[in-house]
Amino acid sequence: MKKFRGSSDYVASQELMNAVNVAIQLQKPLLIKGEPGTGKTMLAQSIAESMDMPLIIWSIKSTTKAHEGLYMYDTVQRLYDSQFGEGDVSDIKQYIKLGKLGEAFTSDEQVVLLIDEIDKADLEFPNDLLWELDRMEFFINETKETIKTKHRPIVIITSNAEKELPDAFLRRCIFHYIEFPTEDKMREIIKVHFGNVDKKLVDEALKAFYDIRHMRDIQKKPSTSELLDWIQALQIAGCDVKKIADEIPYMGVLLKKNQDIETAQAYRFRR
Amino acid sequence: MFIEFFNLLRLHGLKVSLDEWLVLMDALDRGMAENSLMEFYYLCRNILIKSETDYDKFDMAFAEYFKGIESVDEIPEELKQWLSQDELERMIDDMPEWAKEYDLDTLRQMFKERLEEQNEKHDGGNYWVGTGGTSPFGHGGYNPAGIRVGGTGRHQSAIQIAGERNFRDFRQDNELDTRQFQMAFRKLRQFSSRVDTAKTELDIDATIDATCDNAGLLKLVYEKPRKNTVKLLLLMDSDGSMRSYSRLCSQLFQAVNQSTHLKDLKIYYFHNCIYDYLYTDPYIIDGRWIETDWVFRNLGSDYKVIIVGDAAMSSYELTARGGNINWYAWNNEPGINWLKKFSRFYHKVIWLNPIKESRWNHAWGARTINMVREVFPMYELTLDGLDKGIHKLLTN
């Protein structure tokens, strides 16, 4: 049994690695929740990379329907073909287009399937996928064909907790909540991304970053990805390291709302 | 099977199902607890707990169940069997070369010794990162760098982690099941295709007609997608006697707030009864309000109105001029008139009452409850009542 051990550009906590391996061994979907920017989506990429498997991403939008992930039957194309005498119309198969889930099921090798932001979809969406995710098979009505997995894909599902997911669905998943990285963990992440950065700069930047995150009135807290952008900006601009925590240059990289920027500035003057 | 742990989890209000429990048993049989209580802790949490808001309850239950256990011998028999059974397999199969020299008894002995060293507090188990490589119990499987490769020490730190209750902040006791309310609100839809959007949906009937007209050559006709046109005005009684229902109300509030299908949603607050002003937040602070007349001017009569309140108050609050419980907000018109204004202006208004219907005639405030009932159709704030109320909002 292959095991996930993190990859070179992704810092996974021990608990997260455990959760991934539990899900792989028990062959159940892994549901990952956490604040935006804690690397939920990156996780799937990292698993695919470290286990050397192809990654199939199914990004869920508010309009996504469950069956779109399985297959689509292109009736219109078939009708057109029949009228213009093109293609072999009697062969329905060629008008069946597999969706992302179908793709993952029919793959010749084991794949990692990422169902990204499942909570974006309709409330009923997860329920519609219960059978397919449980049995890893589905039936194509038009061709009377059952699509079965050759190799059970590793299914990673992410959620931002915009909607609550149905119990029946949750029961079938392994669940892990990614905590926001602590300062030490964050240092590790920064190291993975930038190699050796000026330690002073990282110290100051982290101090400012966690200060801002702890301000009470901030509506949209800056996340890991914003911190990384910010550090890059600081590096390029070559700011005076001592002033970072006090002046917070390029605050716009960290905070995206006018209100938040004002709040942060107000805090600064108070000190 | 240490079923008491299962019962304890349920006792702590965790909705662990039998399915999930069996999955855990299966995982343990496969030796996935990696012979340590730490792994066992995470394994249980991964499989049994499905929301970070429940992590705290889980930590408490876990700590309670395993707290008394100070040494290896006290680990419940079943659990120990799993752990040691696993140990044996690992010894033969894939323990590193240098570890194979030990037999089980020696290992046990070392377990104990290690445990005795570990009496001081460790920082959330991270302590083990360093010691990893030296412990024969460290099985590298899960972590290449030998992180957290402690022997029994891990069972202590598992309890410690549980004891630290790091997830206390996530606990939301009002979080119950908003989903059911949400499902009820989904029924609050009225579709209309007279919305300004692109024509994106296939109109099958029109397509058939057009294709026939076209001598059988396919001609596609599209129409505008149907959109929900329901606009909702939610007025909530806040503070005072409503405090005891705050959990129920916040559930309702969350459900409404997450109902993305509504065309428009406005929420205002009042205290006991509606007068000249409606407050913009639940804290009911003078000045943070809008004029009730503004609502009439700006939110058309096609808004559907749900008023949430217990309607239990002193009757002068409804009937008298200046009856407003807020001394500084003198009202020229008695509250009941304001309510009547709402029912005249808006065609669809319902009142949801957190007091159970069976007690409307007996509860404190029965008199005002019944006065309000004469103005609005009143339903109790339960799933059932909400269903009925929404039905009322949608029918003529």
Residues A189, A174, single domain; the answer is no
Region of residue A194 (phi > 0: left; psi between -120 and 50: alpha; otherwise: beta)? alpha
| Residue of A83, A123, A156, A183 to mutate, interface with B, max B Cβ within 10 Å | A123
CA distances from B175 to A265, B188, B240, B248 (A): 34, 22, 22, 10
* In the predicted structure, residue B173 carries a pLDDT above the cut 50: no
Structural domain includes residue A4: no
Residues B238, B365, single domain; the answer is yes
Structural domain includes residue B24: yes
Structural domain includes residue A110: yes
Residue of A nearest to B181 (CA): A164
Residues B237, B335, single domain; the answer is yes
Residues B239, B376, single domain; the answer is yes
Residue of B nearest to A167 (CA): B50
Residue type, A261: I
Q: Say which residues have a Cβ less than 8 Å from residue B329's Cβ, sequence separation at least 6.
A: B275, B276, B277, B286
The pLDDT value recorded for residue B142 is: 32
Based on the structure, what is the number of domains in chain B? 2
Residues A169, A203, single domain; the answer is no
Q: For residue B46, give the nearest of A14, A62, A176 by CB distance.
A: A176
- d(CA B123, CA B46) in angstroms, rounded, equals 22
The pLDDT value recorded for residue B161 is: 56
> Average pLDDT over chain B, rounded to whole?
72
Residues A168, A89, single domain; the answer is yes
Residues A240, A194, single domain; the answer is yes
Structural domain includes residue A7: no
Residue type, B69: I
Residues B262, B138, single domain; the answer is no
Q: Is the CB of A171 less than 8 angstroms away from the CB of B148?
A: no
Q: Is the CB of A3 less than 8 angstroms away from the CB of B141?
A: yes
Alpha helices in chain B (DSSP H): 3-11, 18-29, 37-48, 55-66, 77-93, 104-117, 128-131, 153-164, 178-186, 204-213, 246-257, 292-298, 315-319, 335-345, 366-375, 383-394
User: What average pLDDT does range B332-337 have in this prediction?
Assistant: 87
| Residue of B37, B50, B180, B214 to mutate, interface with A, max A Cβ within 10 Å | B50
Structural domain includes residue A3: no
The pLDDT value recorded for residue A29 is: 93
Q: For residue B46, give the nearest of A5, A33, A174 by CB distance.
A: A174
CB atoms near residue A3 (< 10 Å)? 16
The pLDDT value recorded for residue B349 is: 92
Q: Which of A146, A178, A210 is the last residue of a domain?
A: A178
- Per-residue pLDDT band for B29 (boundaries 50, 70, 90) equals confident
Residues B126, B240, single domain; the answer is no
Q: Is the CB of B142 less than 8 angstroms away from the CB of A22?
A: no
User: A177: helix, coil or strand?
Assistant: strand
Q: Which of A116, A151, A178 is the last residue of a domain?
A: A178
Return the structure tokens found at A91. 């062969």
Residues A173, A225, single domain; the answer is no
Domain span at B130 = 3-170
CA distances from B54 to A178, B7, B59, B228 (A): 14, 16, 9, 35
The pLDDT value recorded for residue B174 is: 35
* In the predicted structure, residue B77 carries a pLDDT above the cut 60: no
Alpha helices in chain A (DSSP H): 14-26, 40-50, 66-70, 75-84, 100-106, 125-128, 130-135, 167-171, 183-194, 199-214, 224-237, 244-247, 251-254, 258-270
Regarding beta strands B378-380 and B348-353, do their DSSP bridges make them parallel or antiparallel, or are they unpaired?
parallel
* In the predicted structure, residue B132 carries a pLDDT above the cut 50: no
The pLDDT value recorded for residue B105 is: 55
Q: Which of B151, B170, B189 is the last residue of a domain?
A: B170
Residues B236, B362, single domain; the answer is yes
Q: Is the CB of B50 less than 8 angstroms away from the CB of A76?
A: no
Q: Considering all CA atoms of chain B, what is the largest pairwise distance in Å, rounded to the nearest integer?
A: 92
Q: For residue A123, give the nearest of B19, B26, B186 by CB distance.
A: B186
In the stretch 243-262 of chain A, residues with CB closer than 8 A to chain B read: none
Residues B122, B43, single domain; the answer is yes
The domain that holds A128 is classified in CATH as 3.40.50.300
The pLDDT value recorded for residue B160 is: 55
Residues A86, A202, single domain; the answer is no
Q: For residue B143, give the nearest of A14, A79, A173 by CB distance.
A: A14
The pLDDT value recorded for residue A59 is: 92
What pLDDT digit, counting tens, does each position of B199-244 carry?
A: 778 888 888 888 888 888 888 888 877 777 788 899 988 867 777 7
The pLDDT value recorded for residue A154 is: 92
Residues B270, B144, single domain; the answer is no
Structural domain includes residue B148: yes
Nearest by Cα to B10 from B54, B73, B74: B54
Residues A158, A213, single domain; the answer is no
Type and span of the H or E element at A73: strand A71-73
Interface membership of A22 toward B (CB under 8 Å): yes
Structural domain includes residue B32: yes
Structural domain includes residue A2: no
Q: Which of A178, A198, A220 is the last residue of a domain?
A: A178
Q: Is the CB of B46 less than 8 angstroms away from the CB of A83?
A: no
The pLDDT value recorded for residue B155 is: 40
Nearest by Cα to A16 from A49, A38, A37, A1: A38
| Residue of A26, A73, A134, A179 to mutate, interface with B, max B Cβ within 10 Å | A26
Based on the structure, what is the number of domains in chain A? 2
Residue of A nearest to B53 (CA): A177
Residue of A nearest to B256 (CA): A163
Percentage of chain B modeled with pLDDT above 90: 6
What pLDDT digit, counting tens, does each position of A74-129 carry?
A: 888 888 888 888 878 888 888 899 999 999 999 999 999 999 988 888 777 888 88
The pLDDT value recorded for residue A192 is: 82
Residues A59, A169, single domain; the answer is yes
Q: Is the CB of A18 less than 8 angstroms away from the CB of B39?
A: yes
The domain that holds B355 is classified in CATH as 3.40.50
The pLDDT value recorded for residue A271 is: 55
Structural domain includes residue A79: yes
Structural domain includes residue B136: yes
Interface membership of A221 toward B (CB under 8 Å): no
Q: Which positions in chain A touch B220 (Cβ < 8 Å)?
A: 76
> What distance lies between CA B373 and its chain's CA centroid?
32
Interface membership of A14 toward B (CB under 8 Å): yes
* In the predicted structure, residue B87 carries a pLDDT above the cut 60: no
Interface membership of A17 toward B (CB under 8 Å): yes
User: What average pLDDT does range B159-170 have in this prediction?
Assistant: 56
What pLDDT digit, counting tens, does each position of A163-211 carry?
A: 678 888 988 999 998 888 888 888 888 888 888 778 888 888 888 888 8
Distance from CA of A248 to the nearest CA of B (A): 28
Structural domain includes residue B251: yes
The pLDDT value recorded for residue B162 is: 59
Q: Which positions in chain A touch B55 (Cβ < 8 Å)?
A: 177
Domain span at A50 = 14-178
DSSP 8-class letter at B72 = G
Q: Which positions in chain A touch B39 (Cβ < 8 Å)?
A: 18
* In the predicted structure, residue A56 carries a pLDDT above the cut 90: yes
Q: For residue B49, give the nearest of A14, A163, A175 by CB distance.
A: A175
Residues B126, B239, single domain; the answer is no
- Per-residue pLDDT band for B4 (boundaries 50, 70, 90) equals confident
Q: Which of B120, B135, B170 is the last residue of a domain?
A: B170
- Per-residue pLDDT band for A32 (boundaries 50, 70, 90) equals very high
Check if the beta carbon of residue A118 is closer than 8 Å to that of residue A165: yes
Structural domain includes residue A155: yes
- Per-residue pLDDT band for B339 (boundaries 50, 70, 90) equals very high
Of A259 and B23, the structure prediction assigns the larger pLDDT to B23
Q: Is the CB of B42 less than 8 angstroms away from the CB of A175?
A: no
Residues A197, A217, single domain; the answer is yes
The pLDDT value recorded for residue B11 is: 87
> What distance lies between CA A97 and its chain's CA centroid?
25
Residues A128, A163, single domain; the answer is yes
Structural domain includes residue B210: no
Q: Which positions in chain A touch B168 (Cβ < 8 Å)?
A: none
Q: For residue B42, give the nearest of A15, A83, A171 by CB distance.
A: A15
- Per-residue pLDDT band for B178 (boundaries 50, 70, 90) equals low
The pLDDT value recorded for residue A158 is: 92
Residues A149, A195, single domain; the answer is no
What pLDDT digit, counting tens, does each position of B242-275 carry?
A: 777 777 777 788 778 777 778 888 889 888 888 8
What pLDDT digit, counting tens, does each position of A121-180 carry?
A: 877 788 888 888 888 888 988 888 888 888 889 999 998 866 678 888 988 999 998 888
- d(CA B288, CA B310) in angstroms, rounded, equals 23
Structural domain includes residue B206: no
Residue type, B260: T
Residues B39, B136, single domain; the answer is yes
- The predicted complex's ipTM stands at 0.76
* In the predicted structure, residue B134 carries a pLDDT above the cut 50: no
Q: Which of B139, B170, B201 is the last residue of a domain?
A: B170
Residues A50, A80, single domain; the answer is yes
- d(CA B221, CA B206) in angstroms, rounded, equals 6
Residues B154, B246, single domain; the answer is no
Q: Which long-range contacts (CB under 8 A, 24 or more apart) does B325-329 make?
A: B325/B240, B325/B271, B325/B272, B326/B271, B326/B284, B326/B286, B328/B286, B329/B275, B329/B276, B329/B277, B329/B286
| Residue of A10, A22, A80 to mutate, interface with B, max B Cβ within 10 Å | A22
Check if the beta carbon of residue B285 is closer than 8 Å to that of residue B368: no
